[in-house]
Structure 1
Amino acid sequence: MNIVALFSLFLNVSVCYGLRSLFETSNPSLSWPPSGRDFTGSIENWPGQGEQLGESWPRIVVANLTTLPTTEDFLREYVSMRKPVVLSGLYEQMTDLKSQHGINLAASEFQNSPHAAISKIEAFRYGHGIKERMTFRELLGKISKNQDQDKWYTYGHIPYSVKEMIRYPAPLRCPKIAFQTMVETRQLFYNIEVSKPIRQELNHQLYCMVEGEKEIVLIDEADFPSWSNMKLVDDGYSGKLNPFVDVSKIDYNTHPGLKDIKKIHIAKLQAGDCLFVPARWIHQQNVLDKDNSLEIRWQPLENESDLDCSGYLSPILTLGDLPWLGEKIVKPPERSTDPKRHAFKRLLHLLQRVVLTNQAIGITDFSSIIKMDPFLAPELPKWDDDCQEISETLFHLLDRNKDGKLTANDLDNILELDVDHWANLIHDQLSLLAEVIFDMRVDLAGAIPLDETVRQRVIQMIDIKEK
């Protein structure tokens, strides 16, 4: 069964309204099965029959750390011990929200960002099982305007331009983990209450909430002895799931193995929280509000309690700097020498400055903006005909609907566009502008007097070149 059909199947049976929150009523002291009850007699009388998964079980609340642990502590106390934990504040660190260089992935902010405008995704409608190609901007626009009664969701790798903006998680700052174990990323958006299927991942996972609220039921593999005997399917990534269980209403007639669960761990995630789920832990998510979140997966290592984490990691390391084997990204180019990064940085800057505004910008105003922008035209001595020609070329590259003005409408139908090629064309023009500015500054500076030592070296270099 392919992944599209699989998710369509579970969504058709798992879109739920009025899901019960189990977190606040958790009691780890309960016995299972409950005192005076057992699994003999009619199945309809078995404990848990017809209830939400985990409702009558002993439930242990997952610890919530309000201060981020050091890498050493995180690896020793949680990763190596296979112990789930909530890390409050980690999402803020990863997105650098307090900095002007950060990114805000909240739907209302992200929708109007240049990153969403050029990020192509696959979106699905609940109950249809049909995927549609669109940009993140288009998806969030459909949802915010409530254009139809259909409910949408998306679940795919974090787009390239967004990866570049997300800092590497502080508790994982270990070169061996960063450059040898990263598997894949996910960016999710669900705008409906939904029960997701029970699944088991072979990798470690980090779930980070941007917006919304959800509870996650977690089960240690040792506390669910019949899991491997259930009807499981490959999730299309690196784990197994059971999409056939209606977790909002347990039915032992079709899934008797659920009674063998000994105890439950439970976490409640709200905006800004991240949950570490150890490899091989079985878990199931209930979205109580919308689910706007990020996921990171990485491979377990041996001796994680005493891992050699010596070596340098850049303080501004991002997810875009890392290899992601599950995304077929083997080794990204170095940041300082990667032309694609420079091209996208310039494209995103231009889109933010002159396209995603609340006004229509004509060619004259566009040239004035370029002239005064220190990022696009640094230390510009004067604006001449060459600068104007480059500015007009840039304007026409951005004016995709050819109406003589720059507006957000120029970002419609991005799917038809090769964004990499578009970014390169704009990058080439801005590089040409930089050369013009450099030549201007050299002309203005005139001849530079040289001391005797430098003069002799220059003569030697000229001599060598002539020979």
Structure 2
Amino acid sequence: MSLFVSVLIILLFSYGQTEGAKERAKNNRASNVNEDSTGSQKTVTLDDDPSLWPGHLQEFGKTGRVHTLDLHRNFPSSVDFLNNYAAPYLPVYFKAAEKNSFPFQNWKNKNYFLRLPQTLTNWVTLPDQNKNISFRKYISHYADKGYYCDQEIPHFLREDVSVPKCLLCQAMVKSLSKHNLWISHHNHSSIIQRRNTDTIKCVYVGRQEVTMISHIEYGEKIPADYKDIDVKHVDYNKYPTLREVEYFKVKVKAGDCLFIPTKWYWQVNSYGKTYSVNIEWYHRAKSVKDSDCKMTNTISNLNSVSFKDGPGSDINKQEIILHYLTSYLTESKNFTHKQFENAIKKDKKLMEDMVEWNDEYEEITKEVFDILDVNKDSIFSLDDLDSLNSRILEDIGGLLEDRIQDYEDLMKDQQDEIKQVEELTAPKDKKSDVDAEKAVQDYLKDYLAQLQDVIHESIDEMAVTGQLPDIKQRFAEKQAKGQIGQKPDDSSTKTSQKNGRSEREKAKAKIKLEREKKKLKEKEDNDLQKEKQKDESFVIVDDSIEEEIIADDEEDIAKKSDKTKSRQDKMKKNDEL
């Protein structure tokens, strides 16, 4: 009996405990009572004064229920990342994913940036200052004064940053939106932000603490003016619904990366000297297979991919050109014009399609040098870059783009000339040989006919002027005007073979001759047009010539008259007989 009573008492007690726990859980769900990170219960309910709620006027996310993130050492595969995290909107932490990266190894050293000449041609906009300064000046003087940098990654630094391996899938590479560089040398707290893109944040120097809120579970609890919330002193009287949200929090150290899903709310605290990069892409792909993520090795850094929301192509091209040419100063501290010309001439990347260096290349290179020689001391050096301002930099970018286009046009002309030579020196079939022989015959026939015309014209002129013109010169003038057929290429004849010139040399000579003839004909046509606008008149060189012509005419008339009279007399005698 006593045993039965004891068991009954235990069961009743357990039931009471269970029901009490259920009731407490029910009350908790009804009132959304928060827990701090230690899990200790708070007795304040949502019906109480919001100012009594734990965390009132404290930092954003300081108290409340906090969830842990999945953790990966290094980046997972693209398929794993997209299917398990990006597509279902779940954050994930990548431990030591960038420990071997170039920025992690080099960006912590200020001298690395100061050695790069491109830091003088890229600009940083100081927040709340309406002031632009060079990247070098920012690193040297302003970063330590509390000014932070929050803008697109400069072109010369994009070569340092690799595309995260978990993004090397065609679906995500094609959806890349933009990138961002954060630099701060002091503690800083960002506002609460929300983006319509997925984001991977990688810290290369220092550390950041990121607090996130799921838009799916708690989007309705976040006020519309969330950007105005004082993250240092969250006012629950003004924003009472914030008491109900739950957080994901993580401390991202140097070499680590964090994935933040699209539309999630997040806020960042940076501590001390911090350098981090954000890479964003549109949330379009929902699932992928291994076959969709066979990326080639051509993708190495951020300069090898395209970002849809980056700067305009023209601006980007100018930035690339200026970055490339100023990189010459990493090899030498200064250049004279001749040294710069030699550097351009040996640049296999810039002059990849150049066939032969000539006067036109020299002229373009001189113009490029004069543009870069900003202080006009006949030396291209860091002093020129140090004297730049944003207005001069914009002008230089446009001028350099035009000169680089001149290089490209000239190289294209040379390549086209090679193609013409190859076509002219290509093996000919029998039909082309027959055509060539006929062309030679036509040319000789035309040549002789025109020569005969020139001789007749010269004789007629001599009859008028009494002087024989220079037939050879007159014939040459007709040739220059294109009135005589062009002599066909006789590279296949025995005579040309005896000259000892190669087919290529003859073809190049022919192309050059054709161009010269074309220019000469254009000049002759212009001169002829001018002559037509004038009144044409025959000028008597000497008065004596006119008298001789008249005397000759009178003598001819007299002779004709005598002949006529003699014929008439003879006919009269015949009639009489």
Q: TM-score, with normalisation over the residues of structure 1?
A: 0.67
Matched, 1:38 2:10: no
- 2:428: which partner in 1? 456
Within a 5 Å distance, the mapping from 1:39-438 to structure 2 comes to 39=45, 45-88=52-95, 91=98, 108-124=111-127, 129-143=128-142, 149=145, 151-159=146-154, 163=158, 166-179=161-174, 181-222=175-216, 224=218, 227-228=221-222, 230=223, 232-233=224-225, 241-245=226-230, 247-262=231-246, 264-301=247-284, 304-306=286-288, 310=292, 313-317=295-299, 319-320=302-303, 324-327=307-310, 347-354=322-329, 359-367=333-341, 369-370=343-344, 374-375=348-349, 391-411=365-385, 412-416=387-391, 417-428=394-405, 431=408
Shift of 1:260: 0.9
- Check whether the contact 1:394–1:429 (CA below 8 A) recurs between aligned residues: no
Whose helix fraction is larger, Structure 1's or Structure 2's? 2
Letter matched to residue 109 of structure 1 = Y
> CA 1:395/1:201 → structure 2, altered by over 3 Å: closer, same or farther?
closer
Unpaired runs of 5+ in structure 1? 1-26, 234-240, 333-338
Contact 1:390 1:433 in 2 (8 A): no
Q: Is the 8 A contact 1:357 1:408 kept in 2?
A: no
Q: What does the per-residue CA deviation read over 1:27-54, in whole Å, with 9 as the maximum and x for residues that have no partner?
A: 99733xx325324656554322343333
For residue 259 of structure 1, what is the amino acid of its counterpart?
Answer: R
Rounded to whole Å, the distance in 1 between the matches of 2:221 and 2:201 is 23
Cα deviation for residue 278 of structure 1 reads 0.9
Q: C-alpha distance in 1, partners of 2:430/2:112?
A: 54
Cα displacement (A) at 1:261: 1.9
For this pair of structures, how many residues does the alignment match? 394
Contact preservation (8 Å) 2:209, 2:252: yes
Instruction: Tell me by how many angstroms 1:276 deviates.
Output: 0.7
- Secondary structure of 2:64 counterpart: coil
TM-aligned CA distance change 1:372 to 1:61, over 3 Å: same
- The 1:372–1:306 alpha-carbon spacing in structure 2 relative to 1, beyond 3 Å, is closer
CA displacement at 1:353 relative to structure 2? 1.9
Instruction: State the partner residue of 1:8.
Output: none
Distance 1:279 1:208 in 2: 16
- Which secondary structure state, in structure 1, belongs to the residue aligned with residue 90 of structure 2? coil
Shift of 1:392: 3.8
Deviation (angstroms), 1:285: 0.6
Q: How far apart, in 1, do the equivalents of 2:429 and 2:73 lie?
A: 60
Contact 2:374–2:384, Cα closer than 8 Å, also in 1: yes
Deviates more, 1:35-44 or 1:207-216: 35-44
Larger Rg: 2
What is the CA distance between 1:84 and its match in structure 2? Answer: 1.0
**What one-letter code is carried by the residue in structure 1 that aligns with 2:261?**
P
Taking a change above 3 Å as real, the CA distance of residues 328 and 413 of structure 1, as seen in their structure-2 partners, is: closer
Q: Distance in 2 between matches of 1:458 and 1:62?
A: 80
3-state DSSP of counterpart to 1:400: coil
Could you report, residue by residue, the CA deviation over 1:353-405 in whole angstroms, capped at 9, with x for unpaired residues? Answer: 23x57844433544454566554567999998777655544332211111222
- Give the 3 Å change call, closer, same or farther, for CA 387–320 of structure 1 in structure 2: closer
**Which string of whole-angstrom CA distances, capped at 9 and with x for unpartnered residues, describes residues 53-102 of structure 1?**
33333433433422321111111121123221123455578x7669xxx9
In structure 2, runs of 5+ residues without a counterpart are 1-34, 437-487, 489-577
Aligned counterparts of 1:459 and 1:165: Cα–Cα separation in 2: 61
The answer (yes or no) to whether the contact 1:342–1:427 under 8 Å persists in 2 is no
CA 1:357–1:458 in structure 2 vs 1: closer, same or farther (change >3 Å)? farther
SS of alignment partner, residue 68 of structure 1:
coil
Residues 205 and 296 in structure 1, CA contact (< 8 A), matched pair in contact too: yes
Give the RMSD, CA atoms, in angstroms.
4.6
Which structure has more RCO (C-alpha within 8 Å, separation ≥ 6)? 1
Partner of 1:236: none
Distance 2:86 2:409 in 1: 50
Distance 1:77 1:429, change over 3 A: same
Q: 1:96 to 1:259 in 2, by over 3 A?
A: same
The answer for the alignment partner of 1:4 in structure 2 is: none
1:286-319 CA deviation, whole Å, 9 max, x = no partner? 01123422222222236x2346963874432354
- CA deviation map 1:223-267 (0-9, x unaligned): 536534x2x34xxxxxxx42322x2333323332221123x2222
Deviation at 1:103, TM superposition (A): 9.7
Provide closer, same or farther for how the CA distance between residues 198 and 342 of structure 1 changes in structure 2, counting only shifts above 3 A. closer
Higher strand share: 1
CA contact (8 A) 1:103 1:165 kept: no
Return the letter of the residue paired with 1:136: F
